[in-house]
Amino acid sequence: MVRILGLDPSLSSTGWGIIEVENNRMRYVADGFIPTDTKLPLPERLAMILHTLENVIELYKPDEAAIEQVFLNSNPTSTIKLGMARGVVIMTPALYNIPVTEYEPNKIKKAVVGVGKAEKTQVETMVKILLPGCKPKNNDASDALAIAICHNSQNNEEINYAGTDYFCG
């Protein structure tokens, strides 16, 4: 059995999701998000992300972690702040000797929906189908679960996640 932690980094709301995989069957474990108050100083917001992720890791004990690769936006200040949040999100599993793998957004969408240009609503719908009983807390948590599913699909290329022959335990 392998536990995968999916991470969708953001300074305002970092999403996280945990799935278990055993014998090519995925199972939803947990999800959530880490909101930070924009009125707090940047170091406090980053510390909040760190400490919450530490709690998630200590509680769920994932074996592997996966994160969405950064995209550039037109606002340099926002890009730098996102980079700082990503640094914390990448570093936290590393502190626990958990390997971290990055995936491009289009690869994540393709692994979950079958189309690299899928809409957020399509991704969330497929996450709920692939992980029965899963009700993600918000879009960030849904994206984090999609990242975990993508990571698993990269480890198990033979599984057709969008097919009807897929079973969850």
Whether residue 68 lies in the annotated active site: yes
Task: Tell me what pLDDT residue 158 has.
Answer: 35
Is the pLDDT score of 4 beyond 90? Answer: yes
Q: Which two tokens stand for residue 1?
A: 């059995």
Q: Is 2 left (phi over 0), alpha (psi -120 to 50) or beta?
A: beta
Whether residue 140 lies in the annotated active site: yes
Verdict on whether the full-model pTM lies above 0.95: no
| Annotated catalytic residue within 20, 31, 68, 124 | 68
State which amino acid sits at residue 27: R
Q: Which of 25, 14, 33 is nearest to 4 (CA)?
A: 25
Q: Which two tokens stand for residue 40?
A: 């707090």
Task: Give me the phi and psi of 31, to 5 degrees please.
Answer: -155, 165
Task: Tell me what pLDDT residue 117 has.
Answer: 83
Whether residue 8 lies in the annotated active site: yes
Instruction: Give SS3 for 54.
Output: helix
| Annotated catalytic residue within 20, 124, 140, 143 | 140
Burial of 23 (0-12, 13-18, 19+ CB in 10 A): exposed
Strand 100-103 to 13-22 pairing: unpaired
| Annotated catalytic residue within 8, 64, 124, 143 | 8
167 confidence band (pLDDT: 50, 70, 90): very low
Is the pLDDT score of 5 beyond 80? Answer: yes
Lowest-confidence segment of 20-29, 41-50, 69-78, 140-149 by average pLDDT: 69-78
